[in-house]
Structure 1
Amino acid sequence: MNKPGPIGIFDSGYGGLTVFKEIIKELPQYNYIYLGDNARIPYGTRSFETVYQYTWQCVQAMFELGCPLVVLACNTASAKALKSIQTINLPELSDNRRVLGVIRPTTERIGEFTKSRHVGILATPGTVLSNSYEIEIKRFFPDIKVFQEACPIWVSLVESNEINSSGAAYFVKKHIDQLLEKSPKIDTILLACTHYPLLYPLIRKFTPPSIQILQQGEIVSKSLSKYLEHHQDIDQKLKKESEILFYTTESPEVFNEKAGLFFGQEVNSTHLSL
């Protein structure tokens, strides 16, 4: 790991691409490797141990590809695996490699957006079950009340490109209504899954205009920028030639076809066996 390397961006599948494209906008000068573990999706319904095992395997693969820094652009992996990787695995390595997630950057800023101090979280069942958002928000803002709603169908709607279907409209409205029933004071809703930005038009349609809806991409990208400013030792390990490589544990043809929907432009990937 002596030579400068790329920033690794990891996701269980495609959703992390919505965060990745914002990171590239904010920090276009760096080299990047994106890895989607599409062969083993979904992560959201799997156990903590399985998500940890899968995530750590993928992080190790990205280290082997030369990444000194890996960002888990996946809420489920951040909720179920990040702490174990940071406290158990990384201290065993001889060099100073880092793994970051998407939950902390979001939760440490949530207080800037809510006035009522009632915040809604829309997420996968796994992320809700972990209670990571409520724990982290309470750490930074003890006065904020957090209301969570698990949306088990939403990821499948996005990945099957059914975002404009009547079924999508039904399930989006259903879960927003259920969330808002938990507190009429909610003034801020966080989309705590990287797939959900593709459902944003529907989410906005069924959410009162007075409620603001936060997407993670811009928040996480600005947080990463600040992190690298404050950690020059890590920044010096990063290659800056604006090169981007994509890897998937699935078929590259399948990945490329779907990835463009999330990334906003054509993607050419390579298969990676784990």
Structure 2
Amino acid sequence: MPDLDLDAPETPPTAVAQLAAAELVRRTGVERHDIALTLGSGWGRAAERLGEIVARVPADEVPGFTASGIPGHSGQLTSIRLANGLHALVIGARTHFYEGRGVRRVVHSVRTAAAAGAKVMVLTNGAGGIDPSWSPGTPVLISDHINLTAASPLEGATFIDVTDLYSSRLRALAREVDPSLDEGVYVQFRGPQFETPAEVRMARTMGGTIVGMSTALEAIAAREAGVEVFGISLITNLAAGISDSPLNHEEVLEAGRNAEEHLAGLLSRIVGRIAESVA
């Protein structure tokens, strides 16, 4: 296997993604993964419901990946055979921008999914809710985002249209599964500190309704790669200043644990519907 440094400026990041995809073929025996999912906080058990697990690969054994150091992430890449015979790649090793490894590392999983053949990228996360009607445990579709990281995964004079970045077609399919699903605008902050009440007020003034520390950069990279994007957030807590409760990561994990059974069933049904549409 060629030795390519993902972090070297002269290395095309898509070349490392191709290496990673080739290693996944070797380790899983699956030539093509049609759908990819990044499972954030609260969404991990969904992998168990999607279908037959073909293989689990430690992420740090695949080019360009590192083991996740964030609680709630499995650190594995899992190949799953869906009911209709398509294959899903479940990414349990998200790299967050606040880890300081650079944007290439943040979006490497998405580029690998595209190189592995994925037509659809499902991005999930645990996030804070600005809408006070969303209690912890509420799933919310992402209709758009505001990127406040001051960064982009695009390099050079790369201009792409992100008007319908979070596919309206896929959101409609999700509502066929659960018509009660609400939607909102996701605001990605750099982190790792939680947002201040003033920052949440700013996000709300800008049109944001969900705040978090992931997803937007990944979605942009997926669009660049020609992959259709479906995003869904688990509201783990009300954002700072929306309620009087202090914020902590254990609260995020607890909300995910309490909701995981419902989320697993919901996401497996949505992915099944998406798989029917791409078969």
Q: Which structure features the higher share of strand residues? A: 2
Quickly name the TM-score band, shorter chain normalised.
0.3 to 0.5
Higher helix share: 1
User: TM-score, structure 1 length as denominator?
Assistant: 0.35
